[in-house]
């Protein structure tokens, strides 16, 4: 069973209505985690809306320590999907209009890419275009790196699938302040990143298989613009420990981006510009066990000890791991 997951404070809009209607038609579950600013009377047929009160009722401990007015409320929707028996969780946002391909099975990659330079960053966007573009989260000092991956047969188990977005793709504020949009990616074969090859992935158009559910967790004590990016680095490191990998594939949504202040986005991205290379060095040095919960906590412990997260993050991660253990053992 596939679950579609969103967090939003919007009133019902065209994207949310399409997500609900298509989910209902296809037998998918559609779960929307609200927040304090969500409309009290939110209702769309085919959508399970979780108010703050319902979130606290469903998962009392975790929901009580999870910050409000924060994108990380999406964590509650993940847990609800797991509780309902989802075998795949596909997340998106309330400004991404799904294309027909969004609803199908994600492509099984035949090709794997490996970075050929140290420390292993690869701008995967350049696989899908010859134009100058990079994903949010790629360190600024690496955006001029030549795209020269080693192309091999895909060798890892594909467990997380990142679909691209056309028109207003997921790029950082530096790109938006200095380049022109809209942008359309070329159609190319899906690719899987091999062990040691890093590329940020986001929470805007991403499918997680059941084996990767532990790594859905969105951290709460970093900036809004880094929560899904830093999650992606941790997920990649943990996946490699069990021969799992991340797939990038053609755009399956068109984004009509909600209003943003680009300068505020830039401010929120500064921690990433300053720390992303440091984070992957710390993660690369870790010795992990292959046990998903223990590995997730170990990653957050090391990054917290190095000042990337506040100490309360460890309480949240512990509660997340405990909650998933209960849900998956029922």
**Mean pLDDT along residues 292-311:** 98
Q: Across all residues in the chain, what is the average pLDDT?
A: 96
**Running DSSP on this structure, what letter comes out for residue 259?**
P
SS3 50: strand
* Domain ranges, ordered by start, for the chain: 1-94, 96-329
Q: Minimal CA–CA distance to 143: which of 266, 273, 280? A: 273
SS3 136: coil
The C-alpha atoms of residue 206 and residue 294 are separated, in whole angstroms, by 24
For residue 322, the model assigns a pLDDT of 97
Neighbour count for residue 6 (Cβ, 10 Å): 24
Please write the tens of the pLDDT for every residue from 194-234: 999 999 999 999 999 999 999 999 999 999 999 999 999 99
Q: Quick check: 166 and 182 in contact, CB under 8 A?
A: yes
SS3 89: strand
Fold of 1-94: Rossmann fold (3.40.50)
For residue 34, what pLDDT band results from cuts at 50, 70 and 90?
Answer: very high
Give buried/exposed letters for 171-199 (b at 16+ CB in 10 A, else e). bbbbbbeeeeeebebeeeebbbbbbbbbb
Please write the tens of the pLDDT for every residue from 226-274: 999 999 999 999 999 999 999 999 999 999 887 879 999 999 999 999 9
Look up tokens 């991660």; give the residue: 317
For residue 108, what pLDDT band results from cuts at 50, 70 and 90?
Answer: very high
**Mean pLDDT along residues 34-57:** 95
For residue 256, the model assigns a pLDDT of 84
Please write the tens of the pLDDT for every residue from 130-149: 999 999 999 999 999 989 99
Does the pLDDT of residue 118 top 90, yes or no? no
Q: Quick check: 47 and 36 in contact, CB under 8 A?
A: no
Please write the tens of the pLDDT for every residue from 48-99: 999 999 999 999 999 999 999 999 999 999 999 999 999 999 999 999 999 9
**Residues sharing a CB contact under 8 Å with residue 282, sequence separation 6 or more, in sequence order:** 302, 303, 306
Does pTM surpass 0.95? yes
DSSP output for 158-225: EEEEEEEEEBS-S--HHHHHHS---B-PPP---EEEPTT-B----SSEEEEEGGGGGGGPPPSSS-TT
**Mean pLDDT along residues 20-43:** 96
Does the pLDDT of residue 330 top 70, yes or no? no
């Amino acid at each position: 069973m596939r679950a579609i997951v969103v967090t939003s404070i919007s009133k019902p809009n065209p994207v949310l209505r399409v997500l609900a209607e298509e989910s209902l038609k296809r037998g998918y579950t559609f779960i929307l985690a609200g927040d304090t600013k969500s409309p009290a009377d939110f209702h769309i047929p085919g959508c399970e809306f979780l108010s703050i009160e319902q979130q606290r009722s469903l998962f009392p401990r975790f929901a009580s320590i999870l910050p409000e007015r924060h994108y990380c409320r999406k964590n509650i929707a993940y847990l609800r999907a797991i509780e309902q028996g989802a075998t795949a969780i596909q997340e998106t946002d309330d400004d991404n209009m799904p294309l027909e391909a969004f609803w199908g099975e994600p492509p099984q990659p035949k090709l794997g890419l490996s970075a050929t330079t140290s420390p292993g960053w690869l701008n995967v966007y350049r696989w899908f275009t010859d134009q100058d573009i990079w994903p949010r989260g790629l360190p600024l000092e690496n955006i001029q790196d030549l795209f020269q991956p080693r192309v091999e047969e895909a060798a890892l188990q594909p467990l997380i699938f990142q679909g691209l977005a056309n028109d207003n793709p997921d790029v950082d504020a530096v790109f938006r302040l200095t380049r022109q949009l809209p942008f359309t990616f070329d159609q190319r074969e899906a690719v899987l990143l091999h062990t040691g090859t890093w590329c940020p992935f986001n929470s805007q158009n991403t499918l997680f298989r059941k084996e990767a559910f532990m790594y859905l967790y969105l951290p709460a004590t970093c900036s809004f613009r880094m929560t899904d990016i830093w999650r992606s680095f941790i997920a990649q490191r943990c996946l490699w420990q069990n021969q799992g990998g991340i797939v990038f594939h053609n755009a399956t949504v068109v984004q009509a981006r909600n209003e943003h202040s680009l300068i505020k986005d830039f401010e929120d991205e500064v921690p990433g510009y300053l720390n992303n290379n440091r984070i992957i060095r710390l993660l690369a040095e870790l010795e992990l066990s292959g046990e998903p919960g223990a590995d997730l906590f170990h990653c957050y412990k090391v990054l917290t000890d190095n000042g990337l997260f506040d100490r309360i993050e460890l309480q949240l991660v512990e509660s997340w791991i405990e909650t998933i253990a209960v849900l998956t053992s029922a």
